[in-house]
Chains A and B, each alone.
Chain A
Amino acid sequence: MPTYSFILNGEKGREITEEDLDGIRNICRCGTYYRIREAIVAGAKNM
């Protein structure tokens, strides 16, 4: 179950891929999935 696998795997310095984002298992009933993706990509850029 690849929950936040790109974080938990501890691989540093690689780009976030669409597959990483698709692999997040968290459920958001309010449907913020797209904004979660935006936030992760923005966060990665700022790291």
Chain B
Amino acid sequence: MTEHHRSPDDSDSPSGGLGRRRFLGYLLAAPTLAVGVQLIPGLAGPQAADAAIITPPEPEEIFDLGDAQNLAAAATSGLITVVVNTDGTASFAAIRTEVGQGMTTAIAMMIAEYMDLDMDQVTVTLADARPELIFNQLTGGSNSMRSQYGPTCAAAALAKQQIVAAAASRWNIAPARLRTERGRVIHPDGRRLGYGELATEAASTRTRRVTVPDIKAAKKFKILGHPQKRIDALEIVTGQKTFGMDMQVPGALPTMVVRPPTVNGTVESLNNASAILALPGITDVAVISTGVAIRGKTFGQCIDAIQIADVTWGAGTVDSESDASVLAALQAAAPTLPIPPIGDLFVKGEFTFYFASNTPLEPDWAIADVQAGSVEIWAPLKVPIDAAEDFALMLGLPQSAVTVHVVSAGGSFGRHLFHDCATEAIEASQAMGKPVKLMWSRTDTFRQGRTHPMCISQVLATTLLGNVVTYTQLHTSVQTDFSHGLGEILTATAGSLPVANLGLSETIFELTESSPYNFGVTAQLLNEIQLEFNTGSMRNIYSPNVVTAQELIVDQIAAQFGQDPVAFRQAFLKDSSVLAALNKVAEVGDWGRTMPAHCAQGIAVHSEYQAGIAVLAEINCTPHVVNRKIQDGVGGPRVTKVVIVVDPGFAINPLGFEAQMIGGVEDGIAMALTASLHIQDGLILEGSWDNFFYTREWNTPPEIQVVLLPNTSNSPCGAGELAVAPTMAAVACAYARATGTMPTSFPINHSGPLGFTPLPTTPSTPQSPTNGLKFAQ
């Protein structure tokens, strides 16, 4: 049910958005043809990055987080390579991590397009940690496509050029007279040579610089811009794809950790090590910094051992905190909103957003093998270089003694920016003197894993004679942990960023948040409090909360002006891309249609990752729907329809883009209505997926429509996180209109009765259920 308003004959090339970029090309000394492409340092900025431009426009509009990553990556992104094999296939080791987002499919599309290969002739693997890439091996900020597109296409074009040159040399003919098709070079007389037959003679015996073909030339794409199914779809659905739990490293036995009853609690003593060691299958027990690691022949035996572990626990880092105390701390730390002049009209609101878990569905895992003088690690890491540096430091080893293998992950959502689990695996392996395959349980991941930090957002808008003259948004949050290498990127490029003298979090806030409206004097500010929860980004950083507060207030201003929410936004939007998306979504979503009682439409817009997006949501808040009974779950208001319109710039893979939008919708619904963590005396009460109410099938909209506007540029926008914020906001606005009450606390069911019975804190991982068959009958 997706419309693709895209002409198959669009003439595009990936260089348009890279106007000032040039590429350095290399032939690499290798047995078969291997080419490398490097961005020339200093010519990489997609926009002029003048210093100290704060407002207007806001920093995010001219230079966003992705640009900062691009700029930082430029100096060291030299070594991306395409290798042509003797079987005619091309190989590429991606320096971004596949976490289910379809990145490898998009990379394969670029190479297939520019080499004239079929999709199944391209192999994309994940590169191990490559310290020489310094800043260029971070998967995050919806940045992968934006930074990899230009150089990858250039490398593919260079590889094809060298293959053609080899054929021309063999046939003694000018290269320009040859053409290529599906992995073959074709002579004017009809003779053909497969790339594989030319791979060896096209190889270089020494590494040397060469000129990269001009990829700016208009080209009719056969693959790029056309919907492609994932290259790993068949492998996934047939169970062939290798994920962490499938990895077999000799001697790396299952290992789990007995964990403390409060967040970041500490071990004072393990009181029954010998009883644990006497259990069937258990080989080792060791105290590590986060708990007690138990190694056994099976994970089931590890769980059995956790049941009897007797540990005396010390304090955690937030033992005195509960939801109410964190809220009070946020409110106490929040700056005071300015007081509007007497007589001025104004709209204001304060919105609370509770903690949420960023756990992916695949359990956290890592394999570590610590040997004397070296360590080898397998883990799904999005910032492998930062991790490798930490591991070297931990073990007192030189960087060269640390080998980090990046493994495809079953989702990330921000979690794999951190290497907490790998650190534990190294600690356990070192203490036990054996390799370990360490896995977290579901209970571990919710209670001790990373969270989207609790925050409040205060908004004040003053109005005069039908205009908004000031818009102030003060965002106060528990600190977000950015200690995963993104910090290094921004530190390294600080001099080039258009934000001066700001701390790291404030810098990221300035680079990701901006108001798309003409609201006069506009200020959006971040303030953080230092509570030591385990935090991180969660499929977006600040935007879902900031945009939800903003859009609810925009609806309030529209109401004060007596205007329809869409008409008001049309009048005040300053971003043409967002306006185009809004107009289209109102048309496709039939904005303003008559809705039954307790049902309403809501609309929201957003601009981020160089994309404009608008979302229309319909919600049903009738009592019988809200109160429907769900076994081991929550019902609540039902979002019945979502329409998304997005200006993607250039959508590399419209099918993948659509999948990201649909996934973002489910996240936005969860954050608006159901998904949160409850903090009570330093403990997170949620301990399973049946406690943490991420959207489930009974809360998913039965109708979702994604419309991609025609290409407006040649450069791809970020997609992975884009739809979350405007969906959350549109659902909140729809809820406000359906109930007549603007919600101020999210998710809206958080403050109601707890929808589950919390698991005990001891044992820290419950025994595995054995009654599954009963439920299937």
A-to-B contact residues, CB < 8 Å? 1, 3, 8, 18, 21-38
B697 and A29 form a contact (CB under 8 A):
no
A29 and B702 form a contact (CB under 8 A):
no
Residue picked from A3, A8, A35, most chain B C-beta under 10 Å: A35
A17 to B659 alpha-carbon distance, docked (Å)? 24
CB neighbours (8 Å) of B689 from chain A are: 27
Asked, given contacts A21-B702, A31-B667, A35-B662, whether A3 binds B697 with beta carbons under 8 Å apart, the answer is no
A32 and B662 form a contact (CB under 8 A):
yes
A5 to chain B, nearest CB (A): 9
Q: Can you list 19 A-B pairs with a CB-CB distance of less than 8 A?
A: A1-B631, A1-B632, A26-B697, A27-B694, A28-B361, A29-B361, A29-B694, A30-B361, A30-B411, A31-B662, A31-B665, A31-B666, A32-B659, A32-B662, A33-B666, A34-B665, A34-B666, A37-B700, A37-B702
A22 to chain B, nearest CB (A): 4
Q: Which 10 A-B pairs have the closest CB atoms?
A: A31-B666, A31-B663, A1-B775, A33-B700, A29-B361, A22-B698, A24-B697, A34-B704, A30-B663, A29-B411
CB neighbours (8 Å) of A21 from chain B are: 697, 702
B100 and A33 form a contact (CB under 8 A):
no
A34 to B664 alpha-carbon distance, docked (Å)? 12
B628 to chain A, nearest CB (A): 9
Question: Other CB < 8 Å A-B pairs besides A30-B659, A33-B696, A37-B702, 14 of them?
Answer: A3-B776, A23-B697, A24-B697, A25-B697, A27-B689, A27-B694, A29-B413, A29-B694, A30-B361, A31-B662, A33-B695, A33-B700, A35-B659, A37-B700
A28 to B632 alpha-carbon distance, docked (Å)? 16
A4 to chain B, nearest CB (A): 8
CB neighbours (8 Å) of B695 from chain A are: 31, 33
B639 to chain A, nearest CB (A): 11
Asked, given contacts A22-B698, A33-B695, A33-B700, whether A27 binds B361 with beta carbons under 8 Å apart, the answer is yes
B662 and A29 form a contact (CB under 8 A):
no
A41 to chain B, nearest CB (A): 10
CB neighbours (8 Å) of A27 from chain B are: 361, 689, 694, 696
Q: Which residue of A lies closest to B689 (CB)?
A: A27
In the complex, B360 has a CB within 8 A of chain A: yes
Residue picked from A22, A24, A35, most chain B C-beta under 10 Å: A22
A33 to B663 alpha-carbon distance, docked (Å)? 8
CB neighbours (8 Å) of B702 from chain A are: 18, 21, 34, 37
A33 to B662 alpha-carbon distance, docked (Å)? 9
CB neighbours (8 Å) of B665 from chain A are: 31, 34
A45 to chain B, nearest CB (A): 14
In the complex, B701 has a CB within 8 A of chain A: yes
B36 to chain A, nearest CB (A): 33
Q: Which of B637-668 contact A (CB under 8 A)?
A: 659, 662-667
B259 to chain A, nearest CB (A): 22
Asked, given contacts A1-B631, A3-B776, A34-B662, whether A29 binds B701 with beta carbons under 8 Å apart, the answer is no
8 Å CB contact of A3 from B666, B701, B775: B775
A15 to B700 alpha-carbon distance, docked (Å)? 20
Q: Which residue of B lies closest to A5 (CB)?
A: B776
Q: Which residue of A lies closest to B361 (CB)?
A: A29
